[in-house]
Each structure stands twice: as structure tokens, then as C-alpha cells.
Structure 1
């Protein structure tokens, strides 16, 4: 799979002598015309691509399908194709580590337009997460405004907005 970019959080000056926790994630890019299936998160006031961490021993594509079904209620997932890898280094405060090295494996796929039931984790419910079909250009503009103006933004918004720009350029 092609490497798309490596992002390093501005608070990380170097990786020498850092304790690094590695996390693999899978993300689903689902486009229908100029609409894209995203997760709106009220807490962070942003749009993100469905996906999340891969469980120990879990196949990456199986994890992608699981996350997509849980977070969006996607049905009839098909036509899965690799899109690319995003690497991130960001602050981390668990697992006796102070830096997380996240590798996001991004795939495109098709689904039925009508979504089924979601299965959110408690923190996702508390954060006000919901699956939405939205015009990709509106989502990009929204995230860029959030990055410029909001103190609520999370650490993922730069990755998500980078990916949205790339999807708009390459897949529309």
C-alpha cells in the first residue's frame, strides 16, 4: 500500500529516547458522487473518516469492516481497495509511553446508501458521534474552519482534513 504522509505533532521535537506505543488503525473511505460517509463528532466539532484501532491479532481488512459497521451501520460492504497509509506521531499518556506511533491503513469501499444500526462505544456516545452523508467540499470547509477557529479541535482533524483533500482530488 502506498505511503501518503507522515505527520508529527508539533509538541514532539524528536523521537530519541522516547517511549513509543505503536497502534494500527483501519479507515474506510466511502464515496457516493460528491457525498462521503463521515462521522460528525459534536465534542470536537469535526468530520472524520470512519475507522479505528485494530485489535491484537485482527486482520486489518476485518478490522476496517468491523469499525465501519459499528460506527456507521454500513450494510453490504463490498469492493474494498487499498487507498494508502498515513503515519502519525502524537503525544500519548498510556501504556507506559509518551509518544503514539499510529499507522492508519485506509481503504475505499462501497456500501448501501441506507445505513443500519450503529454500535457506538460509551466514549463515542458521550462525544456526540453520528454517521452522516455529507458533500465532501462542505466537510473540508467545515474542518478547516474548526482548525482555524476552535479550541475544541482534537488531534485527528489534521489527518482527516488531509485525507479529505486527497479523496476529493483523486476520487471525485
Structure 2
């Protein structure tokens, strides 16, 4: 899969094995200028649906599962690799100080209507829900949050980069 972006390795990250790699699969589902996104009230931002790939699961299986859980998508078709986005973040779990978040992004289509999402407790607490959104409005909204909000989430920079790239490569 082509590398879309790789955030530089933080200087504080040493080579002592305290780095955990987490794979995630994210879906790009377009209908004209509209895109299926997740809105998260806690951070007031928009992001691509998707999330962590479970142990023993390949990225396509993870993508389909995450789309079903987060958006209610019951039939995902025409799945095509789009690109990989790598970023480093502090990790606050035992045994590791950092995580390399590797987001594998896929273009795909949905058949039929969205069903009822099956969000996890923390996603519900954060006010997450799926929404079809004009991609240009989503970018403007996220840019305003980046510029002026103290509650922005860790993923907004990645998500806004990806939305801009989708516009330039897939909608132009």
C-alpha cells in the first residue's frame, strides 16, 4: 500500500523496544461531494469511520467489522487500497511509551441503507455518530477546530490531511 504520510519519529522515542504498533483500517465512502464520516461531539470533529484491527484479523476484515460497528453498514463492496498513514503518539499502557498508529485507508462502497451502529461505551460517551457530510464543509469545520479549539482530539490532524488528499485525488 502506498505511503500517504509518515509523521517523523519523536526525538524522545528511543530504540529500547518501548514502541507498540497498532494497525487500524479506515473507510473512504463517497457519494459525490458527500462522504460518510463520524462526528465526535467531545472533540467537535469529523473523522473517517474505522478503527483498530484485532489480533488475528486482516485489515479488510477489520475494516468491514469497524464499518458495521460504527456506521451500521451491512454490505461493504468494491474495497480498494488507497494508502497508509503512519503517526507516533504517546502510549499510556503498561510496557510501552509510544504507539506507531498505522492507518490503512480503503476506498469502498456500501450497498443498501445504513443499519443501527453498535458503538462501544467510550464512543457513545464521546457522542460519536455516523453522518453523511459534504467533504468541503467537514474540512472547513476541522480546520476551524485545529485553529481555535483547546479540546481537539489526537486524530484531527490526520483526518483533515486525509480529507484534503481525498478531495485533491478523488474529487478533482
Give the corresponding residue for 2:59. 60
Structure 1 match to 2:7: 7
Is 1:78 equivalent to 2:77 in the alignment? yes
The aligned length equals: 170
- Deviation of residue 17 (structure 1)? 3.9
Residue matched to 2:131: 132
Q: Runs in 1 of length 4+ with deviation above 6 angstroms?
A: none
Unaligned residue ranges in structure 2 (runs of 5+): none
Tell me the residue number matched to 1:16. 14
Contact 1:8 1:90 in 2 (8 A): no
Q: Give matches, 1:1-172, under 5 Å.
A: 1-8=1-8, 12-17=10-15, 19-112=18-111, 114-172=113-171
Which whole-Å deviations, capped at 9, do the CAs of 1:7-54 have from their partners, x for residues lacking one? 248xx3242245111101100000110000000000011000001001
Structure 1 position 113, deviation (Å): 6.1
Q: Distance in 2 between matches of 1:71 and 1:33?
A: 21
Name which of structure 1's ranges 75-84 and 30-39 shifts more when overlaid on structure 2.
Answer: 75-84
State the SS of the aligned residue for 1:125.
helix
Q: Distance in 1 between matches of 2:159 and 2:7?
A: 11
Query: C-alpha displacement at 1:158, in angstroms?
Result: 0.4
Unaligned runs of 5+ residues in structure 1 are: none
Aligned-residue CA RMSD in angstroms?
A: 1.3
TM-score (norm 2): 0.95
